[in-house]
Structure formats: C-alpha cells, structure tokens
Structure 1
Amino acid sequence: MHAVCLDIDDTLVDFTTSARRALARMIGRDDMWPTWQRMTEEHVKKVVAGEMDSDSMRLARTKAFMAGLGTVLDDESVLKLECRRHADMTGAWQLFDDVVPCLDWLRAAGLKVAAVTNASGPQQRAKLHSLGIARFFDTVVIAGELGVAKPDPVIFQTACRQLRVSACETLHVGDRLDTDAVGAQDAGLHGVWLHRRGPQPPGDTGVHVIETLSDLPALIVSEYLTPAATGPAGVPGQRGPDPVSGAGGAWSTISGRCHEQ
C-alpha cells in the first residue's frame, strides 16, 4: 500500500451538522434537510458539467429551494439569504476528532495522501486550509475542476496518476458506500466505507467497513501489510530505500499482489 485517498465532507469534516444547522436557521425549521440535499446534488452536477460556477450554483439552488417552499425571492434577496446561510455554515465547520491523528499516522507511515471530493473547488480548498489540514495532502482532486465526479473511475484514476501510484496500491476511504467505497473498488482501488452514522446495512457490502478513522491504521496493517511492517505500537516501521516501489521493504507486499493480478 503506497497511498490513501480520502473524501472530505462527512469523512474529514462534519459537514452535515454545520450545513443542516445553517439551513434550519435560514428557514426556521429542520425538516427540509433531505430536500435540500437532493436539490444540492442536482445543482452540483451542473458545476461538474461546467454549466455554471459554484457561486451561481449556490444562488440558483437556494432560489429554487425557497420557491419550493412557496417563497419567491428576487436575486438581491436570495444573495443576502444565501450569504448568511453560507457564513453560518462555514463558521461552524469542524474536523472529526479522529482526523488529525489518522492523518499524522498516514504521513508517519510514509504513505502518500490525496483528498478526492465531489464538491466545488474554492470551497473545498478553503475548507482544508481554514481547518489546518491542507498540509497533509500531496494532491486534492475536485470534481468541479476535473469535470467528472465519484463514482466515475476517472476521478479515482486521476488521483492515482497525480500521486504517481498504481490504483491497486491505493486505498480510498469515504462516507458513502456506493459513491466512495464501491466506486473506488470498481476503479481498481481498495475501497473502505467509513460508516459514521446509522445502522449497519444488512448483508455483505463487498468492501471493508470502519466506523471511525481511528480504525484505519489497524485495517491497513492487518489487511495490506505483513507483520514485519509494523513496529511495537502497530505503526508501520521504516520503509526500504525505494518509497515508490517498496523495493527492499515490507511495504512492497501489496505491490507484489498488484503485479500478480
């Protein structure tokens, strides 16, 4: 294993909590979050397709949402309303408690790290910088900039290419089963579903499932490294002289499997 890709929203950042509270403050009720999510996804597709920029998308989404509630607003009123909502949301962004320890571990282990997100570029880059974790990432791959979104294999393969690693030497972790974990696996990566909320789904998901990023180091060590790769605390030890190919070190285990397939 040479690299780990991570989704951003609801994987690293508790996006849903901040966004849902900001929406509730905007409309004075908390029962419209599923509708807001659906409309947001529909409008984000237009950003990915290059039909509008992220700022125009936010205004169009909010205007359409309010119209659905029976409130028709002019453009100036929509702008004021959306700016307040957006400020409320961004001011409440927080990392999950398990994020920084996990990122520290990944970097100490010598793994390359990428962020792979379906959201728009300016907001996601600002989010990583404002929360102090931009320094951990070798690259950030954003659907709104690339023109394709997860689960399209192209976005995962682009991350691997930018990291200069093979797909089969790369793990992707995200909070959405189909979009993140299964999508990554279909693209040739190893998919891991970070299932932070809700009951476990029935049956076999076909991918590894963890409930916290605190579980990721143990999963990497147990599933993708030989016992010789770990130190006394379960953290991967020193790698060999070639950090990319893994030649001469125990990190070459997954690389060997990759080339055998």
Structure 2
Amino acid sequence: MHPDSTETLAVSPALAQLQALRRSGRIRAISIDLDDTLWPIWPTIAKAEAVLLDWLRLHAPATAQQLGDTATVRALRHEIVGLRPDLQSDLSGLRRESIRLALQRAGDDPALAEAAFDEFFAARQRVDLFEDALPTLQFLATHWPVVALSNGNADVHVVGIGQHFHASLSASLSGMAKPDARFFHAAAEAAGVAPEHVLHIGDDAELDARGAMDAGMHAVWLNRGGVAWPCEGREPHVTVASLAQLCEGLAES
C-alpha cells in the first residue's frame, strides 16, 4: 500500500479483542502457563530423561540396562500414574517414584532415587525458550503483575526468568492442577486481584483456556499450530497464533 493512502488496514479479530480488553481496564494481572507456552516441553523432557539414563549407567547399571532407553523410562513414568493416583498432580513425585520402582525391580538400592531424580530435575530446568517468550515476559511484566501457573514442575528462578514474575504456582507444590478453578483463583489471589481481572494465557485448550473461563477469568488460547478449537461449548475470549501477536494486541496504541 502506498504510504500516502488513506485506506485503513483491517485489524484481525484477535488484535481487536485484545485492544478492547486493554482499553476496558478490566485486565489488572496476568497468569501464564509455562510448558509449551514459553518453551517446548517434550524436547526438554527427552534430554532430561537421557541425562537420567546416563546417571543410572554410572550409579545403578542394572537399572539402566533394564530400562534401556528413554521410551521405557517414559512408559514407566506413565505406569506409576496408575499405581500412585495420590500423586496425580505432583509430577516431581511421580517421576521420583517411577525411578524408585525401576531401581527396586532391577535389584538396585531404591535410596538412589533421590539423587537420580535430582539429576533429572536439574536437566529438566534447562529449557529452550520460544523466540517470542522472553520479549513477551518483559513486556507483560512492565504493565501487570505476572503469575506463572503450571501443572508442570519447572522453577522459573532456576530456568532464569524469575525476575519477570510476581509469583509462581506449580501443581507439584500447590496440590492442585488446572483446570481446577481453585488453582486459577490462587493465581488471582497471588496477584492481589479478583479472578475477573486476570488474563490467563496458555496453550492447552481444555486445561488453560476452558479452565480459566470456568474460573471467571479472561482466556487467551495460544494456538501456535493453527488447529480448530477442540472443545465443545464456548470458545476462548481471544485466540492468538503467537506470543508476539498477544503483545501487539495488548500494546498501548
């Protein structure tokens, strides 16, 4: 378009919705998911499981041999979910107990589970942020209190982004998990506002977007893959293709 043209460029529905929310003054805090919102989770987990196997080869070789590869490590992690339903929302506890079970089955010392988990957990914190993640956190934190709300067990301070957060809540430490409305309400309380004044951002349609709406929050569904809304009933308040698009919509014009 010629720079002197008076024709107005169309604003996408997502940007228009975000701009309207910003102008309304209803957004006084942000809650945001971590895994698959700020970084891809499965490459991170795969690397951490490889680190775990390397540690076991040195300290519990029988266990390492019996596990064999990361696929078996993950299968055992899924098995423990059925054996320990009390740990359903505690990913750290589930991982620790899956390691303990592997050690017991191989005849190694189950007490090694704590040290083995520590190796896994340290590697789990070494994430590769999406390109738009850090600029988004920097932008959000200059305008609102930001609360991390995760069903995972990442520690934002160990990851190296803690300075952008007013608070961080994880299912492992809170005993609650999304989409439980109490978990969302805990995030609002941590930010010092009512739930209706929180904008929640996350990649999971059911856990993040639907969960936030059911808790009385405004929901932004981060849909990087451009897939159709998979849930029945109402759709999220806003759908964005990237965190960069989110910032563009929330920026002051």
Normalised TM-score (structure 1): 0.65
SS of match in other structure, 2:193: coil
Taking only aligned residues, the RMSD between alpha carbons, in angstroms, comes to 3.4
User: 1:89 offset after TM fit, Å?
Assistant: 3.5
Say if 2:86 is the partner of 1:46: yes
Q: Report the alpha carbon displacement of residue 165 of structure 1 after superposing the two structures with TM.
A: 1.8
Q: Distance in 2 between matches of 1:145 and 1:80?
A: 19
Spell out the pairing of 1:235-254 with structure 2 (5 A cutoff). Answer: 235-236=251-252
Write the deviation string for residues 6-34 of structure 1: whole angstroms up to 9, x where unpaired. Answer: 11222223332121233256255354576
Equivalence for 1:10? 36
1:60-139 alignment, distance < 5 Å: 60-64=97-101, 71=106, 73-76=108-111, 78-79=113-114, 81-90=116-125, 92-108=126-142, 110-120=143-153, 124=154, 127-139=155-167
Residues 113 and 138 in structure 1, CA contact (< 8 A), matched pair in contact too: yes
Equivalent residue letter for 1:60: E
Q: After superposition, what is the alpha-carbon deviation per residue over 1:26-63, rounded to whole angstroms, capped at 9, x for unaligned?
A: 255354576366457668963577xxx87654331223
Name the CA shift for 1:185/1:65 in 2 (closer, same or farther; >3 Å).
farther
Q: Deviations over 1:118-166 (max 9, x none)?
A: 234xxx3xx3123321111112223233322111101111111221222
Alignment-derived partner of residue 59 in structure 1: 96
TM-score, normalised with respect to structure 2: 0.67
Identity %: 25
1:146 to 151, 170, 174: 174
Q: Is the 8 A contact 2:34 2:148 kept in 1?
A: yes
| 8 Å CA contact retained: 1:95, 1:131 | no
> Is the alpha carbon distance of 1:130 and 1:83 closer, same or farther for their aligned partners in structure 2, counting shifts above 3 Å?
closer
What is the total number of aligned residue pairs between the two structures?
210
Structure 2 gap segments, 5+ residues each = 1-26, 54-66
C-alpha distance 78-24 of structure 1, shift in aligned 2 (>3 A): same
- Cα distance 1:170–1:60, how it changes in 2: closer, same or farther (>3 A)? same
Q: Identify unmatched segments of 5+ residues in structure 1.
A: 222-234, 238-261
Task: Work out whether residues 114 and 137 of structure 1, in 8 Å CA contact, stay in contact via their aligned partners in 2.
Answer: yes
Change (3 A) 1:63 1:116: same
1:216 counterpart letter in structure 2: L
- 1:21 partner letter: K
Q: Does 1:217 align with 2:217?
A: no
